[in-house]
């Protein structure tokens, strides 16, 4: 999570971001696009999936303050 700093705000709600497989949760204030969130967390595009509920989000979608999202590492296997 290089260069990421949670921003203090007067907003009551904070976005909860669950990082998998690290088993870590961070709270972040302020709405932002998925691509911006990944950049702030130091996660390279294409290396993670961002999920809200049952929906896989695209880089252009907006995540709100009160959202609860999960970021899962993309794992690929080779063919034998």
**Using one digit for the tens of pLDDT, what is the confidence trace for 29-73?**
999 999 999 999 999 988 999 999 999 999 999 999 999 999 999
Integer Cα distance of 67 and 79 in angstroms: 37
Global confidence as pTM: 0.77
50 closest CA partner among 21, 32, 71: 71
């Amino acid at each position: 999570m290089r260069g990421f700093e949670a921003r203090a705000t007067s907003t009551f709600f904070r976005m909860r971001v669950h990082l998998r497989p690290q088993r870590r949760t961070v709270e972040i204030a302020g709405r932002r696009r998925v691509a911006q969130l990944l950049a702030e967390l130091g996660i390279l595009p294409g290396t993670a999936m961002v999920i809200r509920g049952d929906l896989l989000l695209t880089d252009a979608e907006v995540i709100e303050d009160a959202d609860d999202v999960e970021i899962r590492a993309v794992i690929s296997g080779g063919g034998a």
